[in-house]
Chain A
Amino acid sequence: MPTPTDLLQGTLDLLILQTLALEPMHGWGIAQRIQQVSKDVLQIGQGSLYPALYRLEYKGWIRSEWGNSENNRRAKFYRLTAAGTKQLEAERATWNRLSAAIALVLAKHAEASS
């Protein structure tokens, strides 16, 4: 299995927001989903998940409420707020710009060394 990459805080926020954009989820669910979708490449340290969730809630991008999970346990569900949706768009745009720029630099480098 490829080693999990360390994630920066900002990107963790982005991933959480994206995951919640699809449907509301509880904390454990979010961790599993990200792992699943990235095909096990991204394994977020679960220790940093909850502080991140609290931080996002503090900033007003996600909202929490208690509900029943699949196996009828009480769990805290998080969902995206309208502000969070806007933030997600903004972050995606930034990410795209960033990765495009890096790609350019690497391409140049590849050119130069070939």
Chain B
Amino acid sequence: MPFEAWLYSLPMRLRSLLRPNQVDQELKEELRDHLEQQIQDNVQRGMSSEEARYSALRALGGLTQIEQQCREARGGRMLRHFAQDLRYGFRQLRRAPGFSALTILCLTLGIGANAAVFSWLEGILFRPYPSVAHQERLFALAATARGDTRAEEMSWPDFRDLKRYCTLCEELFVSKITGSTLSIGDHAETATGSIVSANYFDALGVHPILGRGFEPADDVGNDSHPVVVISYQLWQHRFQGDPEIIGKMQRFNNVPHTIIGVAPDGFYGTFVGWAIEFWVPVSMEETFESGGYKLEDRGARWIEAYVRVKPGVSRAQAQQEVSAIASRLETNYPATNRGWGLGLWPLWQTPFNHAGSLLPTLEVMVAVVAFVLLIACANVGNLLLVRAFARRHEIGVRVAVGASRFRLFQQLLTEGLILSALGTAGGLLLAYGCRHALVLLLPARSGHAMYLPGEIDWRVMAWSAGLGMMVTLIVGLVPAFEARNLDLAVPLKAESRAVAGPHARAWMRSGLVVFQVGLSFILLVGAALLLKSLEKIRTANPGFSTTSVVTTGVSLVAAGYDVPRAKTFQDELIDRLRALPSVESAAFARVTPLDYETYSSTPIAVDGYQPPLEEQPEIEYNQVGSGYLATLGIPLLSGREFTRRDDETAPLVAIVNRTMMMRYWGGQDPIGRRLEVKGRWARVVGVAADSKYESMRETPRPFFYVPLRQDFDRGPALNIRTTQPLESMLATLLREVHRLDENLALYEMITLQEQVNRSTSEQLVAVTLVSILGGLALLLAGVGLYAVMSYTVAQSTRELGLRMALGAGPPNLLRLVLSRGLRLTAGGVLFGALAGLALTRFLGNLLYNVSPHDPLVFGTALAVTTTTAIAACLSPAWRASRTDPARVLRQ
């Protein structure tokens, strides 16, 4: 029944909403008519027309009141008030453009920074693969060895069986990351690619813009389908967007491949954080993977795969089925599959990708932008307080005329809503602009293009809207809180006599500023610590020369050199280089220190060393050419370096480092002693000093070297110790290489210092980020301090005038205001210092050789904060000192 009534009431509600003026008009008419009828009636009863009129009016009562009551009874009040408040709010904002701009800017920065970071997080966690359809149903598939949760690669026959038996899976495909050397013209580069199953592009819903994807036949055979699909980026950059690219040949790993397709722009493959540049079918596996032909070997585990489940299927359900299939395989093929299971991982926990290493940095970012938002809100709160004070007359009048407290709240809240809505909109625009900026913060490693997508989707918008709401509440309630304690008489008078207002207000204002200053201080300290850390890492001694040594490589594999030819080439090149006057020494080595490339490792055994039972000493080593230590400037502590004579025909030898000597030979000279490497015994001929091998931050560890000839690699890095600068050395080297073979290309040449710098990219990111945000925070805090001091000065002009009248000069007033400002700053710094001392320990593993309580850092932050504070207080203090006592005291 109520519904029926509501239906009948609709026309009236709508009209009073949409045509309020008309309804008002009608009411007036109606009342007027009523009056006239009453007057007529009175006249008929015998009153004079004047009496009739008065009597009718008296009977009816106050017209204004009746109209107001009717209006209230009409309903739609809330909405009308809201519309009123909106119009009024906009007018107010236009009237104070400076304040509005500042406030909206603060909110934009705060919300925008949060939205940007969230979109990056979102991009990596939820939708790490741009352009791929239905990622919410996509899971990573990997094998698990029983008793271990770590993901291992699986075999191709297993994958095929899984595809056959899995009913809950809509699509399964393989995407194994691989690299290849690409030589085009003079230049060689590594390109990152993927070995994929033939259904890859169809399963992903990605269609090549030129040519085609793979066909099912491409899954079969050994190196029988040398076809490749290249990425849009590769097509544009390396092939200059050649429109005739389809059908052309390109050597990948020395095998000519036919380019059959170009992937669309915006598709970067399915490996988080890396831009995949080419795709080859599974049948080409042997060309790209080491270890021979694996497609028919169930025990050869090399596949990284993905599964898309059917709609409505949960990961748990799919996992059950997959595990069941794994058990079946175990039973059917005990030789290869005993103890192996299969597991599904959500995309953001994909075992084979880069995202894992990015998460800690992102977590730091989330914390930092939360800080920034807090500071922005505190700032806005302060600005609003200042504004509320400036509007106290207006508010006083409103209350005097009869506005209820609630109505006042409503209005202030609406104004807050306008501000935060504008701020949220601005913030989303900012985030949209920055959405791909994450990759800018992470410098590219040599040769590998990174791509980290950020998405502005409904989640990000909802998050920003939520933040906006929260900010609205804070921002709207602050002046409302202020209005609550309104003493009517006071604001209606000209000036407040009190110096700094009633206690509650002063506390909140000062509290906000102290809080802001404190937060900025913490960020500054963090930034300085990280910066110092970075400097220390970069200038720390890596144990080898960083100046005058360059490193590069020659792409022999891509040029099709076999082992004997490669050996000859390497020897000849070294001879030529050594003959040059500007080259002190040159040597090959399989791995350059601090590189992305991993070292080989092996279990070892040492004569006369009995390891404790649980310890299985497995040590990393590098395969190096003769004269390597001299080239890199690693001191030789005893014994000798490798020479040409230590080749594949000579007895096996090794050079160990100092830590190894200490650990396995108790510090005694191990020269002449035996070391078992990969099952064969070698003799120790030298001891090298320790150096950094993988990262500047590692602790000393055992390491050894073996001659390159005794563990050969066709594509080692070339290290040259030279007095020539980089460009000319590059030209010289190119000349020498081409004298030997015109078709060869060189890899990027960099100095070892650059190598060190690149390896510290994680720290660089952290420093950049925290510095930018710290600077931002400091700026905001400065603005907040300025606002508060202006407010204080404005509020206490009477007191200042009084002081002046009593004899204080402008410098005194200047000092007075400055000291007030500095007191607030001191409070903030104290808060910041205490919090900083507690919090910086969380920077933990990002700090290198720097104490989290470094006094120099705290001192510098103190100086910067104080300077900013003085700068912020200067203008209000100057205004205070210009107070005209005569004018002020007269008010």
CB of B74 within 8 Å of the partner chain:
yes
Residues of A within 8 A of B8 (CB): 60-61, 63, 81-84
CB of B65 within 8 Å of the partner chain:
yes
CB of A72 within 8 Å of the partner chain:
no
**A47/B30 in contact, CB under 8 A:** no
CB of A3 within 8 Å of the partner chain:
no
Residues of A within 8 A of B27 (CB): 50
Nearest CB to that of B56 among chain A residues? A46
**B66/A47 in contact, CB under 8 A:** yes
Cα distance, A35 to B1, chains bound together (Å): 31
Residues of B within 8 A of A84 (CB): 5, 8
Interface residues as binary, A19-60 with B (CB distance below 8 Å gives 1, 0 otherwise): 000000011100010000000000001110011101101111
**B4/A76 in contact, CB under 8 A:** no
Q: Give min CB distance, B469 to chain A, whole Å.
A: 31
Residues of A within 8 A of B38 (CB): 28, 46
CB of A87 within 8 Å of the partner chain:
yes
CB of A86 within 8 Å of the partner chain:
yes
Cα distance, A61 to B75, chains bound together (Å): 15
Nearest CB to that of A57 among chain B residues? B12
State the majority secondary structure of interface residues on B: helix
Residues of B within 8 A of A73 (CB): 33
CB of B697 within 8 Å of the partner chain:
no
Number of B residues with CB within 8 Å of any CB on chain A:
33
Q: A28-B33, A58-B12 are in contact. Are A83 and B5 (CB under 8 A)?
A: yes
Q: A28-B37, A45-B61 are in contact. Are A50 and B31 (CB under 8 A)?
A: yes
**B1/A50 in contact, CB under 8 A:** no
**B30/A50 in contact, CB under 8 A:** yes
Q: A28-B34, A46-B34, A58-B74 are in contact. Are A51 and B7 (CB under 8 A)?
A: no
Cα distance, A53 to B714, chains bound together (Å): 98
CB of A75 within 8 Å of the partner chain:
yes
Q: Give min CB distance, A87 to chain B, whole Å.
A: 7
Q: Give min CB distance, B63 to chain A, whole Å.
A: 9
Q: Give min CB distance, A86 to chain B, whole Å.
A: 6
**B5/A87 in contact, CB under 8 A:** yes
Interface residues as binary, B60-77 with A (CB distance below 8 Å gives 1, 0 otherwise): 111001100110111100
Number of A residues with CB within 8 Å of any CB on chain B:
30
Partner of A86, one of B1, B41, B69: B1
Residues of B within 8 A of A54 (CB): 70, 73-74
Q: Give min CB distance, B449 to chain A, whole Å.
A: 66
Q: A27-B30, A57-B12, A75-B33 are in contact. Are A50 and B70 (CB under 8 A)?
A: yes
CB of B26 within 8 Å of the partner chain:
yes
Q: Give min CB distance, B549 to chain A, whole Å.
A: 88
**B9/A60 in contact, CB under 8 A:** yes
CB of B59 within 8 Å of the partner chain:
yes
Number of interchain pairs (Cβ within 8 Å): 80
CB of B609 within 8 Å of the partner chain:
no
**B4/A46 in contact, CB under 8 A:** no
**B34/A60 in contact, CB under 8 A:** no
Most chain B Cβ neighbours within 10 Å, of A47, A82, A84: A47
Interface residues as binary, B623-642 with A (CB distance below 8 Å gives 1, 0 otherwise): 00000000000000000000
Q: A51-B73, A58-B13, A81-B8 are in contact. Are A46 and B26 (CB under 8 A)?
A: no
**B30/A60 in contact, CB under 8 A:** no
Cα distance, A60 to B74, chains bound together (Å): 11
Q: A28-B33, A54-B73 are in contact. Are A82 and B4 (CB under 8 A)?
A: yes
Q: A28-B34, A54-B70, A54-B74 are in contact. Are A59 and B9 (CB under 8 A)?
A: yes
Nearest CB to that of B11 among chain A residues? A63
Nearest CB to that of B33 among chain A residues? A75
Residues of A within 8 A of B7 (CB): 60
Residues of A within 8 A of B73 (CB): 51-52, 54-55, 58
Interface residues as binary, B1-27 with A (CB distance below 8 Å gives 1, 0 otherwise): 100111111111100000000000011
Cα distance, A61 to B9, chains bound together (Å): 8
Residues of B within 8 A of A32 (CB): 41
Cα distance, A19 to B34, chains bound together (Å): 17
Nearest CB to that of A58 among chain B residues? B75
Residues of A within 8 A of B30 (CB): 27, 50, 75-76
Residues 70 to 96 of chain A near chain B (Cβ within 8 Å): 73-76, 81-84, 86-87
Q: Give min CB distance, B712 to chain A, whole Å.
A: 93
Residues of A within 8 A of B5 (CB): 59-61, 81, 83-84, 87
Residues of A within 8 A of B6 (CB): 60
Residues of A within 8 A of B33 (CB): 26, 28, 73-76
Cα distance, A74 to B5, chains bound together (Å): 27
Residues of A within 8 A of B37 (CB): 28
Nearest CB to that of A52 among chain B residues? B73
Cα distance, A63 to B12, chains bound together (Å): 8
Residues of B within 8 A of A81 (CB): 5, 8
Most chain B Cβ neighbours within 10 Å, of A28, A61, A86, A87: A28
Residues of A within 8 A of B60 (CB): 46-47
Nearest CB to that of B63 among chain A residues? A47
**A83/B70 in contact, CB under 8 A:** no
Q: Give min CB distance, A83 to chain B, whole Å.
A: 4
Partner of A83, one of B1, B66, B75: B1
**A46/B61 in contact, CB under 8 A:** yes
**A60/B66 in contact, CB under 8 A:** no
Cα distance, A45 to B74, chains bound together (Å): 20
Q: Give min CB distance, B567 to chain A, whole Å.
A: 98
Partner of B4, one of A52, A63, A64, A83: A83
Nearest CB to that of A32 among chain B residues? B41
Nearest CB to that of A76 among chain B residues? B30
**A47/B1 in contact, CB under 8 A:** no
Q: Give min CB distance, B7 to chain A, whole Å.
A: 7
**B9/A58 in contact, CB under 8 A:** yes
Most chain B Cβ neighbours within 10 Å, of A26, A46, A61: A46
Nearest CB to that of B10 among chain A residues? A60
Q: Give min CB distance, B709 to chain A, whole Å.
A: 98
Cα distance, A73 to B33, chains bound together (Å): 9
Cα distance, A59 to B75, chains bound together (Å): 10
Q: Give min CB distance, A65 to chain B, whole Å.
A: 10
Most chain A Cβ neighbours within 10 Å, of B26, B62, B69: B69
Residues of B within 8 A of A76 (CB): 26, 29-30, 33
**A47/B61 in contact, CB under 8 A:** yes
Nearest CB to that of A86 among chain B residues? B1
Residues of A within 8 A of B61 (CB): 45-47
Cα distance, A86 to B59, chains bound together (Å): 32
Q: Give min CB distance, B67 to chain A, whole Å.
A: 9
Most chain A Cβ neighbours within 10 Å, of B4, B34, B61, B74: B34
Q: A46-B59, A57-B12, A81-B8 are in contact. Are A51 and B34 (CB under 8 A)?
A: no
Of all A-B residue pairs in the complex, the 9 with the closest CB atoms, nearest first, are: A47-B61, A60-B9, A60-B5, A60-B8, A83-B5, A51-B69, A54-B73, A55-B73, A28-B37
What are 17 pairs between A and B in contact, CB < 8 Å?
Answer: A27-B34, A46-B38, A46-B59, A47-B61, A50-B70, A51-B73, A54-B73, A54-B74, A59-B5, A60-B7, A60-B10, A61-B5, A63-B11, A76-B26, A76-B33, A81-B8, A84-B8
A interface list, Cβ under 8 A from B: 26-28, 32, 45-47, 50-52, 54-55, 57-61, 63-64, 66, 73-76, 81-84, 86-87
B interface list, Cβ under 8 A from A: 1, 4-13, 26-27, 29-31, 33-34, 37-38, 41, 59-62, 65-66, 69-70, 72-75
Taking A61-B5, A82-B8 as given, write out 6 further A-B residue pairs in contact, using a Cβ cutoff of 8 Å, ordered by the A residue number: A50-B31, A50-B66, A58-B13, A58-B75, A59-B5, A60-B4
